[in-house]
Structure 1
Amino acid sequence: MASIEMIVAARARLRGHARRTPLLSSPFLDEIAGRRLFVKAECLQHSGSFKFRGGWSAVSGLDAAVRSKGVIAFSSGNHAQGVALAAKLHNIPSVIIMPSDAPKLKIANTRAFGAEVVLYDRINEDRDEIGARLSAERGLTLIKPFDEPLVIAGQGTAGLEISEQAGEEGVTSAEVLVPCGGGGLTSGIALALEASSPGFRVRPCEPRDFDDTTRSLASRKIERNAAVSGSICDAIVTPQPGNITFPILKRLAGAGLVVTDEEALRAMALAFSRLKIVVEPGGAVALAAALFHGNALESDTAVVVTSGGNVDPDIFATALERFG
């Protein structure tokens, strides 16, 4: 299981490799949110998302002999890029299994990082079967996107930074809103804050109709989504919470928050105009929750994670045209 000790160890391995992303603020966003608002800009991380943290943590945590044979991962894009870049920097091969409907930018970036990309039909094909077959054939180590302790530990390093950076702003109590797919980032941050800033509470944020974690927290058992695609927030669309991540969230997280695709687009436009950062739809759901669902929050201060910025140009243009 993931632990604070693993997060601290992951931070040591990440030192000099991952960015300490900034904690941004804007009085304009504070006014909309109705509270003091800070934005942890993980969209500025290497590979364009927080996933580099988990990718580096997992690859660097492997035994050298095992690592040299290469790694394999499945992802709609951000985990793919994080693992591919970590593998390239370790000079080892990587194979990334991606849905054929993943954003073109994410597919292109993953290939640019040197990975062999294997596309599949997420409706009619089983990515787990494809991954198991290729792993067996080539001796590759599978790095899961969220249900892997080394990955959770890497993502948790963002929580240690939030604790330090918020402390520098004099903040000792806040709700921390995190875009949530399988729960690797959310659970990692929750573990880090439990140890470093117990006055902080994590709130998972999801797109409407893909709110498996929100529903699971309400029922106290793992719930599945009815569909596996259909939201522009592709980066955080997963079938259900992870078997490792959900027990952590059930123990540490507050109630989930759910936003519409339109609210995510509006948050993207505001992030660009007020903070000058580019955020993808899935990466903007926590900001959307803070800005447009403030009545669901209890604290007068919120920290929001913008988890990724790998957005296709046409979707970004749509956000700016409609809400810019």
Structure 2
Amino acid sequence: MLTIDKIYDAKNVLKKIVHKTNIIPADNLGSENHIYLKPENLQLTGSFKIRGSFYKISKLTEEEKQHGIIASSAGNHAQGVALSAQKAQIPCTICMPDSSPLSKVEATKSYGANVCLVEGVYDDSYEEAIRQCKEKNLTFIHPYDDEDVIAGQGTIGLEILDQMDSVDAIVVPIGGGGLISGVAFAAKNLKPSIKIYGVQAANAASMYESFKQGKNIALDHVNTFADGIAVKHPGNNTFEIVKQYVDDIVTVSEDEIAAAILSLMEKQRIVAEGAGAVSVAAAMFNKLPIKGKNVVCIVSGGNIDINIIDRVMTRGLLLSGRKTSFTIALTDKPGQLLGVSKIISDNGGNVVAIDYDNGDPEMAITSCFLKVTVETRNHDHIEKIKDDLIHHGFIIVHERV
């Protein structure tokens, strides 16, 4: 059984490899909340996962170590297991979804693991890992539904309370539930009054749905760029712990996650992946009853796929009112572009792209559409520019927000 003594034992074992990440004030991420960050993205391998995997592997018998280990992961657990196996000189195979970011695949290989790519999402790689586990007599290192793994993750809860005794709530990303189970168990046992809130991507809300319905359910599919928490089915052990110790679970949209990643980069100089930023997104967009409270958001990982950063930044800019585009119907005559540009410039907007279209069969021969992409300060700034354009007689047929 999971006990607070086991989590303290994990804390002692992890001194060999894990460093205590500092709590960082981040009030600029939410004006009504006292937000602090626990940046596990700065941990070895770029996420908290090294805690659970290293502790679990430290508990293996010599026979289990000789046979070797296997794990399934979308990336962060893979790196944690691979590095832990390397340190213990244990043969290691990792089954990963073929959609895993190349950076995570290559990082896992760099720690000496044999990587097996599996078509589908995490749950498909899990099934393949279990098959190979039985076939080759390997020990399976579960990414979340294992008491030793949960105990390792629970050391984050011990650290938070040790670093900040005035904390009122901890906000935790959820995939399969290993992190929040460990943190909630540790924190609630030491400070029963503390609130523990979980956050999932709305398009991968298996624990959220299970929590709300009171039974462990499996989703048919998940679809989120927060690949680290794209899990169809929560763990059985983690679900039972969550039911007992977690106060509530909320979801955030893809755009809200993107906006949180953008804010963390701009305001805190912290790089977070989608899974790592969901906790901050929930605080930023007022999904939780934390007004005026001292709240620690766990930034669980920073291994973002470099290939999607541009798209993530664009989505974040749009949602936060930092970028927009207007499609304006014009009479095709000289000076129209100058008039539009002057209004935007006079209002402090910055035009970054223009697209001209006079070939739409639905409009008059003498008309055109002008799409103008503008850098702005916020949503109020967008409305000011929009109102001024309309005031000067320009017809806005579409606005991207």
Q: Same fold (TM over 0.5)?
A: yes
Structure 1 segment 286-305 matched on structure 2, within 5 A:
286-294=279-287, 296-297=289-290, 300-305=293-298
Q: Cα offset for 1:175?
A: 1.8
2:218 alignment partner, SS class? coil
Distance 1:103 1:278 in 2: 16
Answer whether contact 1:152 1:187 (CA < 8 A) is retained.
yes
Match of 1:187 in 2: 181
Distance 1:217 1:294 in 2: 16
Relative to 1, partners in 2 of residues 1:189 and 1:276: Cα closer, same or farther, differing over 3 Å?
same
RMSD: 1.9
Match of 1:316 in 2: 309
Gaps (5+ residues) in structure 2? 318-401
Q: Cα offset for 1:180?
A: 0.1
Q: Cα offset for 1:321?
A: 4.4
Answer whether contact 2:40 2:299 (CA < 8 A) is retained.
yes
Q: Of the two structures, which has the highest relative contact order with CA contacts closer than 8 Å and spacing of 6 or more?
A: 1
Give the alignment partner of residue 120 of structure 1, picking from 110, 115, 118: 118
Give the alignment partner of residue 222 of structure 1, picking from 216, 220, 234: 216
Relative to 1, partners in 2 of residues 1:123 and 1:250: Cα closer, same or farther, differing over 3 Å?
closer
Q: Cα offset for 1:53?
A: 0.4
Q: Cα offset for 1:19?
A: 1.5
Distance 1:129 1:282 in 2: 22
Give the alignment partner of residue 256 of structure 2, picking from 244, 259, 263: 263
Match of 1:154 in 2: 152
Q: Which amino acid aligns with 1:45?
A: Q
Distance 1:136 1:78 in 2: 24
Match of 1:164 in 2: 162
Match of 1:204 in 2: 198
1:2 alignment partner, SS class? coil
Answer whether contact 1:21 1:45 (CA < 8 A) is retained.
yes
Relative to 1, partners in 2 of residues 1:277 and 1:128: Cα closer, same or farther, differing over 3 Å?
closer
Match of 2:246 in 1: 253
Distance 2:34 2:148 in 1: 33
Q: Cα offset for 1:300?
A: 1.6
Relative to 1, partners in 2 of residues 1:152 and 1:123: Cα closer, same or farther, differing over 3 Å?
closer
1:271 alignment partner, SS class? helix
Q: Which amino acid aligns with 2:184?
A: A
Deviation sequence 1:69-89 (CA, Å, 0-9, x none): 321000111111110011111
Q: Cα offset for 1:316?
A: 2.3
Match of 1:280 in 2: 273
Q: Which amino acid aligns with 1:90?
A: A
Q: Cα offset for 1:317?
A: 2.9
Q: Cα offset for 1:299?
A: 6.1
Distance 2:139 2:122 in 1: 25
Q: Cα offset for 1:27?
A: 3.3
> After alignment, is 204-213 or 107-116 more displaced?
204-213
Match of 1:237 in 2: 230
Q: Cα offset for 1:272?
A: 1.2
Match of 2:328 in 1: none
Q: Cα offset for 1:289?
A: 0.2
Relative to 1, partners in 2 of residues 1:122 and 1:322: Cα closer, same or farther, differing over 3 Å?
closer
Deviation sequence 1:124-173 (CA, Å, 0-9, x none): 99434422342234332100111111110100011111111112xxx14x
Answer whether contact 1:25 1:275 (CA < 8 A) is retained.
no
Greater share of strand: 2
Q: Percent identity?
A: 35
Distance 2:229 2:55 in 1: 20
TM-score when scaled to structure 2? 0.75
Distance 1:294 1:143 in 2: 34
Answer whether contact 2:199 2:250 (CA < 8 A) is retained.
yes
Aligned residues: 317
Relative to 1, partners in 2 of residues 1:7 and 1:265: Cα closer, same or farther, differing over 3 Å?
same
Distance 2:14 2:299 in 1: 20
> After alignment, is 62-71 or 142-151 more displaced?
62-71
Distance 1:271 1:92 in 2: 37
1:258 alignment partner, SS class? strand
Match of 2:10 in 1: 10
Q: Cα offset for 1:271?
A: 0.9
Gaps (5+ residues) in structure 1? none
TM-score when scaled to structure 1? 0.92
Q: Cα offset for 1:269?
A: 1.0
Distance 1:278 1:36 in 2: 21
Q: Cα offset for 1:29?
A: 1.8
> After alignment, is 122-131 or 81-90 more displaced?
122-131
> After alignment, is 93-102 or 206-215 more displaced?
206-215
Q: Cα offset for 1:221?
A: 1.1
Relative to 1, partners in 2 of residues 1:27 and 1:124: Cα closer, same or farther, differing over 3 Å?
closer
Relative to 1, partners in 2 of residues 1:8 and 1:250: Cα closer, same or farther, differing over 3 Å?
same
Structure 1 segment 65-104 matched on structure 2, within 5 A:
65-104=63-102
Distance 1:261 1:123 in 2: 18
Answer whether contact 1:175 1:299 (CA < 8 A) is retained.
no
